[in-house]
Amino acid sequence: MSAYQAPLKDIRFTLSQICDLEKLLTLPDFADCDGDTINAVLEEAGRLAAGVLAPLNRQGDVQGATLANGVVTTPDGFRDAYAAFRDGGWNGIQFDPLYGGMGLPLVIGNACAELWNSANMGFALCAMLTQGAIDAVSTHGSDELKETYLEKLVSGHWTGTMNLTEPQAGSDVGALRSRAEPAGDGTWRIKGQKIFITYGEHDFAENIIHLVLARTPGSPEGTRGISLFVVPKFLVNPDGSLGQRNDLRCINLEEKLGIHASPTAVMSFGDNEGAVGYLLGDENKGMRCMFTMMNAARLGVGVEGLAIAEAAYQHAVAYALERRQGKAIGATDSGPAAIVEHADVRRMLMTMKAQIDAMRALCYVNGQALDLSRHHGDEAQRAWFGQLAELLTPLSKAWCTDLGCEIASLGVQIHGGMGFIEETGAAQFYRDARIAPIYEGTNGIQALDLVMRKLGLQGGEVVRRYLGEMRSLDAALAGGGETFAKTRANLGAALDSLEAATRWLAEAAVADPNAAAAGATPYLRMFGLTVGGYLIAKGGLAAAAQAGEADADTPFLATRVATACFYGEQLLPQAPALLPSITAGSGPLYAIAPEQLVS
């Protein structure tokens, strides 16, 4: 297997030239951050990823997490790796220094998360869930809950989970049956079973803080009657020390397609007197609290798609440079050529590389929008960036995780028959990637969210404004001359189609909601392709402008320009082609009866 290398040049370029990190760091809340600090953080995060986490990735896949007598053991080396992660303060990158965090922008946390997920997704999942729990407690918790839990969660000495799904409910959270009964002392007693709980039990930390959705007595049906509770594995004494074991346990670990190192637990709450829980936020407002955690997690899952794609790409490039097979067209050397010289292999590698650059730009711009929504000094700007983040989040989550699977599949293809053999390592990326389109609301749910909710934000003004922002790049592309001429034309055509699709869906959502639902997934794909084209073109223009500077990294900048042009010329034309699928209505989906679907 090839060794993972942190793609710091590309990360820094995306942060500086597409996200305008320098401007973000001028905000008062980031007064203690500067470029040197960010570079140092990224360097160290890269070292942890490449030197500690990546060497354990294969071991984690082969050995997996195990359960015996209620105790979960993670693969060899993982517990020590987590200790290094925790002791380095990495869990608290973007969190409040009041609770021990570094206070850096979320977009830097996203960049570090990319490195860790590329190196070892099975390991990195634990931190993502913990960070989501921190967001939920920080936003909705009482002063007492914050004082009890935040410092330990931020430091990583305790970890967090999200307990939504139940066997009978799946993605329909409103169908959950877990119950919470008031105990009369301000606490609640939780009873029920949850499935698919990532790191629901493990040996990394001394306490695990479960955030659990449950119904209280007399609560309304559906999602309106759900509350959220903090349910610790060990109760916490008034002095902060750990008390007795709570009434909860892991009763099984799922056997999964991939991410074998990550324990995916079936959790049972309240087999005896009931697990002690503490209400987070208001009663029957649990979904509002949980969405704070889920929205952060959805962007985090998008970063996972990016990360797996980067890892699969690096692995495929290394193989393509080394593997010699066949004679390349036009080659003058005798003997077989490295397969990187063959046109179709080059097509696959360029497709992977260009898509990864676009995915990284989208995820980081999404994180930057969240930073600005929280820290910008102008209220109107905070509101705008919050709305932009709402619009971009389903794109980051769904488009990037779909592409993560496709890119990992291309990685297998480049390896040929050896890609289907586990010992090369290409198959693991493919298997690990497959969960991401399902996590945190399947990608079909993300598409429905985009069409049914996000297109209507501020009466459609949020989408119109962002389309206008993308249109504004046209003049700069025109100034780029022949280099960007085809990209300019294709971006214009993609935006025309996106505007037409948006208008059609906005009308259909009112007149025929099922027709809008039928077009939602191809629409999200079109939107992702177009935003990716806009952002990568923006980066390509910046690279071209820098190329003439005295200290320019000419080969790197030339690569960025060429990759942006490849995307604009080879991939962006796919966006307008989706318009007929988007506007076809629901008829083609329901043309035959359900029983006729059976062969």
Report the C-alpha gap between 470 and 373 in whole angstroms.
20
- Provide the pLDDT for residue 599: 78
Query: Please, which residues have CB within 8 angstroms of residue 402's CB and are 6 or more apart in sequence?
Result: 305, 437, 443, 525
Report the C-alpha gap between 312 and 354 in whole angstroms.
14
Detail the DSSP E strand segments found in 76-206.
Answer: 158-163, 179-182, 188-198
Contact (Cβ atoms closer than 8 angstroms) between residue 113 and residue 124: yes
Report the C-alpha gap between 138 and 327 in whole angstroms.
60
- Average pLDDT of 231-257? 97
Residue 188: strand, helix, or coil? strand
What are the extents of the domains in the chain? 140-150+157-284, 447-589
DSSP code of residue 435: T
Query: In this predicted model, what pLDDT tens digit does every residue of 344-354 receive, in sequence order?
Result: 999 999 999 99
- Provide the pLDDT for residue 1: 60
Query: In this predicted model, what pLDDT tens digit does every residue of 532-552 receive, in sequence order?
Result: 999 999 999 999 999 988 899
- Provide the pLDDT for residue 293: 73
Query: In this predicted model, what pLDDT tens digit does every residue of 113-142 receive, in sequence order?
Result: 999 999 999 999 999 999 999 999 999 999
- Provide the pLDDT for residue 168: 80
DSSP code of residue 384: H
Contact (Cβ atoms closer than 8 angstroms) between residue 452 and residue 509: yes
Least confident of 194-208, 288-302, 470-484: 288-302
- Provide the pLDDT for residue 223: 85
**CATH architecture, domain 140-150+157-284:** Beta Barrel (2.40)
Closest CA to 405 of 301, 519, 322: 301
Q: Which residues of 210-231 are buried (b: 16+ CB within 10 A; e: fewer)?
A: bbbbbbbeebeeebebbbbbbb
Residue 472: strand, helix, or coil? coil
Query: In this predicted model, what pLDDT tens digit does every residue of 359-417 receive, in sequence order?
Result: 999 999 999 999 999 999 999 999 999 999 999 999 999 999 999 999 999 999 999 99
Would you say residue 290 has pLDDT above 90?
A: no
Q: Residue type at 245?
A: R
Residue 462: strand, helix, or coil? helix
* List 322, 440, 549, 595, catalytic entry: 440
pLDDT confidence tier of residue 334, bands split at 50, 70 and 90: confident
Which residue in this structure is represented by tokens 């079936």?
266
- Provide the pLDDT for residue 296: 77
Show the CA angle centred on residue 389, arms to residues 543 and 356, nearest 5°: 40
Contact (Cβ atoms closer than 8 angstroms) between residue 263 and residue 159: no
Query: In this predicted model, what pLDDT tens digit does every residue of 156-215 receive, in sequence order?
Result: 999 999 998 898 876 677 778 999 999 999 999 999 999 999 999 999 999 999 999 999
Pairing assessment for the beta strands 207-215 and 158-163 based on DSSP bridges = parallel
44 has catalytic annotation: no
Query: In this predicted model, what pLDDT tens digit does every residue of 431-447 receive, in sequence order?
Result: 999 999 999 999 999 99
- Provide the pLDDT for residue 34: 92
Contact (Cβ atoms closer than 8 angstroms) between residue 364 and residue 19: yes
Average pLDDT, the chain: 96
Report the C-alpha gap between 527 and 521 in whole angstroms.
10
- Provide the pLDDT for residue 439: 93
| Token pair of 307 as six digits | 């990360």
pTM of the model: 0.97
* Sign of the alpha-carbon dihedral angle for 334, 335, 338, 339: positive
Which residue in this structure is represented by tokens 């029983």?
595
DSSP code of residue 481: G
